[in-house]
Structure 1
């Protein structure tokens, strides 16, 4: 199992770099060429979401991206350190307009779910993580 870890300052201009690195590592891991655009878009959405959460919560810690190559699958985990409010909105980080922030968050997660078949989202007081997984194909054998 090979893992690449990427950390970047929570600034929108770094999201593009994360997308490019994710696509390159996914290609090397054996993710189907036809799916690479979806990988780029999903990673961009997840990273943009994490950057927004960090900025709105005043968190200076970097956004973390783990690119994990396993047997027959490739996963990307995007982690943030922003406190996530319970679904009832009773606690968590204060926001200028929590309804708009929650709506944008739900929209971002919907976009990711539309792009990736296997998505797992976890969130709590210490931050959140989006894990996206794609199948891989082994490299074709080169005849001797």
Structure 2
């Protein structure tokens, strides 16, 4: 099992780096070459969403991306630090879990795009923030189809 953790400041220019790292780790984990574009796009969308949430809520904590390979599955978790409804963080007002009050439509669109790219996706939140979990099957390394 291999795990790579990437943290970056909530700046749009760092999303490209996250996409490149995700594609490289996915390739090394054995994700089919035909699926790598979907991995790149899904990670880009999830990271862009997290960056937008951080910036919209004035959160300076980094966006966290965890990439892991275990049990014939490559998974990615993109986490934000936006508090759930009814709480505040660093003087920021409350809203829906992980969603700015005025950007619900944009957030729904991001989640729809991701769900169209990923068969296995889960969206969750905790007191520490929100997370999007995505996974893809892998082939054993060195085995050709």
TM range (shorter): 0.7 to 0.9
1:80 corresponds to which residue? Answer: 80
Gaps of 5+ in 1: none
Indicate conservation of the 8 Å contact 1:83/1:126, yes or no.
Answer: yes
| CA contact 1:74–1:133 (8 Å) conserved in 2 | yes
Q: Residue in 1 aligned with 2:36?
A: 36
How well do the aligned residues superpose, as a CA RMSD in angstroms? Answer: 2.0
**Map of 2:90 onto structure 1:** none
Name the larger-Rg structure.
1
Structure 2: any 5+ residue segments left out of the alignment? 87-92
Shift of 1:125: 4.3
TM-score by length of 2: 0.87
Q: Specify whether residues 62 and 72 from structure 1 end up closer, same or farther in structure 2 by C-alpha distance, changes over 3 A only.
A: same
- Give the distance between the partners of 1:38 and 1:130, measured in 2 at CA: 15
Contact 1:85 1:124 in 2 (8 A): no
Contact 1:84 1:93 in 2 (8 A): yes
Runs of 4+ in 1 over 6 A off after TM superposition: none
C-alpha distance in structure 2 between counterparts of 1:11 and 1:128, whole Å: 18
SS of the equivalent of 1:59 reads coil
Shift of the alpha carbon at 1:84? 3.6
* Whole-Å separation in 1 of the counterparts to 2:143 and 2:31: 16
Aligned to 2:118: 116
State the partner residue of 2:71: 71
Contact persistence 1:83–1:127 (CA under 8 A): yes
Residue in 1 aligned with 2:89?
A: none
1:92 alignment partner in structure 2:
94
Match of 1:7 in 2: 7
Q: 1:141 deviation in Å?
A: 5.0
**d(CA) in 1 for partners of 2:17, 2:134:** 18
User: CA separation in 2, counterparts of 1:84 and 1:117?
Assistant: 26
